[in-house]
Amino acid sequence: MESGHDEQNKTFPIGETPQETRSSYVPRSYEISPTNRASLNPEIADVVVIDLAELDDPAKRPIIVKDIGNACRNTGFFQALLHITKSTQWEIGATKNNVTNYMEMKF
Protein backbone atom coordinates (compact mmCIF):
# COMPACT_ATOMS: atom_id res chain seq x y z
CA MET A 1 0.00 0.00 0.00
CA GLU A 2 1.40 3.37 -1.03
CA SER A 3 1.84 6.11 1.48
CA GLY A 4 -1.24 8.28 1.86
CA HIS A 5 -3.82 5.59 1.08
CA ASP A 6 -4.96 5.55 4.68
CA GLU A 7 -5.50 9.32 4.49
CA GLN A 8 -7.67 9.41 1.36
CA ASN A 9 -10.10 11.95 2.82
CA LYS A 10 -7.51 14.60 3.58
CA THR A 11 -6.75 17.82 1.76
CA PHE A 12 -3.41 18.29 0.04
CA PRO A 13 -0.97 21.20 0.34
CA ILE A 14 0.08 23.03 -2.81
CA GLY A 15 2.73 21.01 -4.60
CA GLU A 16 1.65 17.75 -2.97
CA THR A 17 -1.65 17.01 -4.70
CA PRO A 18 -2.04 13.55 -6.24
CA GLN A 19 -1.69 15.08 -9.71
CA GLU A 20 1.56 16.79 -8.80
CA THR A 21 3.04 13.74 -7.10
CA ARG A 22 1.85 11.43 -9.92
CA SER A 23 -0.17 9.31 -7.52
CA SER A 24 -1.47 5.97 -8.79
CA TYR A 25 -4.84 6.29 -7.02
CA VAL A 26 -7.73 8.74 -6.77
CA PRO A 27 -8.21 9.94 -3.19
CA ARG A 28 -11.69 9.61 -1.73
CA SER A 29 -11.77 13.38 -1.24
CA TYR A 30 -11.86 13.69 -5.05
CA GLU A 31 -14.83 11.36 -5.48
CA ILE A 32 -18.38 12.62 -5.96
CA SER A 33 -21.08 10.15 -5.00
CA PRO A 34 -23.38 9.12 -7.86
CA THR A 35 -26.35 10.84 -6.19
CA ASN A 36 -24.45 14.16 -6.12
CA ARG A 37 -23.16 14.02 -9.70
CA ALA A 38 -24.71 16.23 -12.35
CA SER A 39 -26.74 14.32 -14.93
CA LEU A 40 -25.74 14.35 -18.58
CA ASN A 41 -29.14 12.98 -19.60
CA PRO A 42 -30.87 15.88 -21.45
CA GLU A 43 -34.28 15.02 -19.99
CA ILE A 44 -33.02 15.33 -16.43
CA ALA A 45 -29.93 17.47 -16.89
CA ASP A 46 -28.99 19.31 -13.72
CA VAL A 47 -26.65 21.95 -15.08
CA VAL A 48 -26.36 25.39 -13.51
CA VAL A 49 -27.12 28.10 -16.07
CA ILE A 50 -25.63 31.53 -15.41
CA ASP A 51 -26.62 34.58 -17.42
CA LEU A 52 -23.63 36.89 -17.80
CA ALA A 53 -25.66 39.71 -19.36
CA GLU A 54 -25.51 41.95 -16.31
CA LEU A 55 -21.81 41.69 -15.47
CA ASP A 56 -21.55 45.43 -16.11
CA ASP A 57 -24.07 46.20 -13.35
CA PRO A 58 -22.01 46.91 -10.20
CA ALA A 59 -24.89 45.71 -7.99
CA LYS A 60 -25.34 42.39 -9.82
CA ARG A 61 -21.71 41.58 -10.69
CA PRO A 62 -20.82 40.20 -7.19
CA ILE A 63 -23.89 37.94 -7.30
CA ILE A 64 -22.94 36.56 -10.72
CA VAL A 65 -19.33 36.02 -9.61
CA LYS A 66 -20.57 34.22 -6.47
CA ASP A 67 -22.87 32.03 -8.61
CA ILE A 68 -19.92 31.09 -10.84
CA GLY A 69 -17.80 30.21 -7.81
CA ASN A 70 -20.57 28.08 -6.32
CA ALA A 71 -21.14 26.25 -9.60
CA CYS A 72 -17.42 25.51 -9.93
CA ARG A 73 -17.14 24.26 -6.35
CA ASN A 74 -20.36 22.23 -6.35
CA THR A 75 -20.51 20.64 -9.81
CA GLY A 76 -17.28 21.68 -11.52
CA PHE A 77 -18.99 23.36 -14.46
CA PHE A 78 -21.85 25.57 -15.58
CA GLN A 79 -23.50 26.76 -18.78
CA ALA A 80 -22.92 30.43 -19.47
CA LEU A 81 -25.41 32.52 -21.34
CA LEU A 82 -22.89 34.97 -22.70
CA HIS A 83 -24.22 38.37 -23.59
CA ILE A 84 -21.10 40.40 -24.23
CA THR A 85 -21.28 44.13 -23.68
CA LYS A 86 -18.63 46.66 -24.67
CA SER A 87 -17.25 46.67 -21.12
CA THR A 88 -17.03 42.88 -20.78
CA GLN A 89 -15.60 42.67 -24.30
CA TRP A 90 -12.79 45.00 -23.19
CA GLU A 91 -12.24 42.99 -19.97
CA ILE A 92 -12.07 39.70 -21.90
CA GLY A 93 -9.52 41.24 -24.28
CA ALA A 94 -7.46 42.65 -21.41
CA THR A 95 -7.55 39.32 -19.56
CA LYS A 96 -6.55 37.45 -22.72
CA ASN A 97 -3.60 39.82 -23.20
CA ASN A 98 -2.54 39.41 -19.56
CA VAL A 99 -2.70 35.61 -19.80
CA THR A 100 -0.79 35.63 -23.09
CA ASN A 101 1.89 37.90 -21.60
CA TYR A 102 2.15 35.71 -18.51
CA MET A 103 2.47 32.52 -20.57
CA GLU A 104 5.26 34.07 -22.62
CA MET A 105 7.30 34.98 -19.52
CA LYS A 106 10.47 33.04 -18.90
CA PHE A 107 11.00 31.84 -15.37
pLDDT at 87: 64
- In tens, the pLDDT along 54-63 reads 887 899 999 9
Q: What is the per-residue pLDDT for 74?
A: 85
Q: What is the per-residue pLDDT for 64?
A: 92
Cβ–Cβ < 8 Å for 7, 1: no
Dihedrals phi, psi of 51, to nearest 5 degrees: -90, 120
Distance of CA 75 to the CA centre of its chain: 9
Q: 49 φ, ψ to 5°?
A: -110, 125
- What's residue 1's pLDDT? 39
pLDDT of residue 66: 93
CA torsion sign for 21, 26, 28, 31 is positive
**Positions of the chain with pLDDT under 70:** 1-10, 38-45, 83-90, 92-93, 107
